[in-house]
Amino acid sequence: MSKIKLRPLCVLAFVLSGCAVGPDFKQPDAPAVQGYTKEPLVTKTAAADTGGGNEQQFVERMDIPAQWWTLFESAPLNAVIEQALKASPDLQSAQAALRAAEEQVSVQQGAFFPSVNASLTPTRQKPAAAAGQGTSPFNLHTAQVNVAYTLDAFGGNRRQVEGLQAQAEQQRFQLEAAYLTLTSNVVAAAVQEASLRAQISATQEVQKVQTELLELLQRQYRLGDVAMADVMTQQAALAQTRAGLPALQKSLALQRDRLTALAGRFPSEELEQKFELAQLALPQQLPLSLPSNLVRQRPDVRAAEAQLHAASAAVGVATANMLPQITLSASIGSAAAKMGDLFTSGTGLWTLAGGLTQPLFAGGALLHKKRASEALLEQAAAQYRSTVIVAFQNVADSLRALQYDAEALQAQVAAERAAANSLAITRRSVQLGAASPQTLLTAQQTYQQAVINLAQAQAARYADTAALFQALGGGWWNRDQALASNKLK
């Protein structure tokens, strides 16, 4: 066929492939809200004169570093997170899922091009006598090149590629979410371990104090100053404190197992790093992203947006399946009785064909598939809105928690010091016979609870600081820039 005859077909193919049915995806607008809480946020938190009690400031528009956990200034924490990022099977699974999704995009993009196949078919045939051509067997060798192309007249294939690209984008942000979840979990586990160690240390200190008080009461009993019941009551208090230690030690052991598993190790390969609250620095400046930026920073929101995009493209695919399908095919080859005669003069053959298929009746299946895809699009839109609301809730929760954590720590410091002073005064009074042992017991219990509450309040500030970084997206966008910069070098 001449170039003149082929040109109109090429123009027709170009024109027909210029449209794509179905909705064109539009990125959702950011929520029209000005802040994360109803009332104006404080610009800085309260301060307390104790470890982890420094003032924290909320800085608007402050960017989040890619490795935000380094702000805690803990070399052991950095080392554990580095191990986790290298060995976590959850992260490796998400990476493999992303590679698979990207390959599926390439698979579908192949439909934009003609398929070309070569075939060689040697046969030996024996015609029937009724054919009137003799009954002697003969050989026939056929070599062909076949070309087939389905014209993407209404954009069905483009919508499929668009949907798969959106799914790959979703997997990419699920990988970012897995990265953020892993690092946040490691920080949270390290802080919890440090908190448990502080509580164990506090309980042991209380146990030491109670042992000294028991010895004091035993001496006073021998002198006849107190009754045996007072000694027994103090023994019971000491026993109760000792009984609380195994539960804390159990929690610490389980937390160590959790931290080891997060690092991609088995429990028998326990990490050598150990965590104390005193070894963690509390970041003094905290980022506060604009609400309009949060939806671009949160990996889960971006994944939900990509899922919405894929659902939009699926509507286009379902619509295109209801419209005519145009196919073009051609083949050229040679057929000869002998292999050596292939491609000699007079053996050539070719075909050129076009096809138009319009679905007429499928029992309503195509229509209902389209309606189903539209319903799934509505579902994806609702899920996106829900994810955005949860994202804003997470940030608001973290901001409120940090504000009240600081106030709680300030109050706990005062409570612990007051309890310590009360215990010291009561102890002296008991020694002088000016106070009853029951008063001493009450003072001990108050001090013990105050010391444990103080350790928990200190840990809460570290944990909720990490939660804020997680709620704001974790700075993954800066990690991408750093990787790109390293590649340029």
Taking the alpha carbons of 412, 414, 415, 419 in that order, is the dihedral positive or negative?
A: positive
Is the pLDDT reported for residue 489 higher than 70?
no
Question: Which whole-number Å values give the CA distances from 196 to 28, 276, 395, 445, in the listed order?
Answer: 44, 9, 26, 19
Q: Would you place residue 134 in the very low, low, confident or very high pLDDT band (cuts 50, 70, 90)? A: low
Cα angle vertex 321, ends 362, 23, to 5°? 130
Helix axis angle, 156-223 to 365-432, nearest 10°: 20
Find the mean pLDDT for residues 423-446: 83
Is the pLDDT reported for residue 125 higher than 50?
yes
3-state DSSP percent of the chain in helix, strand and coil, to 5: 65, 10, 25
- Which CATH number is 164's domain given? 1.20.1600.10
Find the mean pLDDT for residues 7-35: 72
Residue 325 confidence (pLDDT): 92
**Which position has the token pair 């106070």?**
435
CB 317 within 8 A of CB 335: no
Is the pLDDT reported for residue 17 higher than 70?
no
Is the pLDDT reported for residue 12 higher than 70?
no
Domain that holds residue 409: 17-113+154-323+371-488
Is the pLDDT reported for residue 437 higher than 80?
no
Residue 33, SS3 per DSSP: coil
Please list, residue by residue across 314-337, b when 16 or more beta carbons sit within 10 angstroms of its beta carbon and e when fewer do.
bbbbbbbbbeebbebbbbebbbbe
Helix axis angle, 299-320 to 156-223, nearest 10°: 150
The total of other beta-carbon atoms located within 10 Å of residue 303's CB is 21
Residue 132 confidence (pLDDT): 60
Find the mean pLDDT for residues 360-365: 91
Would you say residue 360 lies in a domain?
no
The total of other beta-carbon atoms located within 10 Å of residue 275's CB is 24
Q: Kindly report, residue by residue over 265-310, the tens digit of the pLDDT.
A: 999 999 999 999 999 999 999 999 999 999 999 999 999 999 999 9
Would you say residue 135 lies in a domain?
no
Q: Kindly report, residue by residue over 97-119, the tens digit of the pLDDT.
A: 999 999 999 999 999 999 999 99
Percent of the chain with pLDDT over 90: 68
Task: Measure the CA–CA gap between 106 and 92, rounded to whole angstroms.
Answer: 22
Residues near 421 by Cβ (< 8 Å), separated by ≥ 6?
none
Would you say residue 131 lies in a domain?
no
Would you say residue 11 lies in a domain?
no
Residue 225 confidence (pLDDT): 81
Name the domain count of the chain: 1
Is the pLDDT reported for residue 205 higher than 90?
no
Higher-confidence position of 257 and 481: 257
Q: Kindly report, residue by residue over 472-486, the tens digit of the pLDDT.
A: 999 999 986 544 344
Please list, residue by residue across 95-132, b when 16 or more beta carbons sit within 10 angstroms of its beta carbon and e when fewer do.
eebbeebbebbeebeebeeeeeeeeeeeeeeeeeeeee
Structural tokens at position 42: 């404080």
Would you say residue 343 lies in a domain?
no
Of the listed ranges 7-16, 211-220, 328-337, the least confidently predicted one is 7-16
Q: Kindly report, residue by residue over 60-83, the tens digit of the pLDDT.
A: 989 999 999 999 999 999 999 999
Question: Mean pLDDT score of the chain, rounded to an integer?
Answer: 89
pTM of the full predicted structure? 0.86
Q: Would you place residue 15 in the very low, low, confident or very high pLDDT band (cuts 50, 70, 90)? A: very low
Residue 124 confidence (pLDDT): 85
Is the pLDDT reported for residue 131 higher than 70?
no
Is the pLDDT reported for residue 321 higher than 90?
yes
Would you say residue 432 lies in a domain?
yes
Q: Where are the alpha helices (H) located in 263-364, listed in sequence order?
A: 291-297, 299-320
Q: Would you place residue 438 in the very low, low, confident or very high pLDDT band (cuts 50, 70, 90)? A: confident
Would you say residue 75 lies in a domain?
yes
Higher-confidence position of 140 and 401: 401
Would you say residue 335 lies in a domain?
no
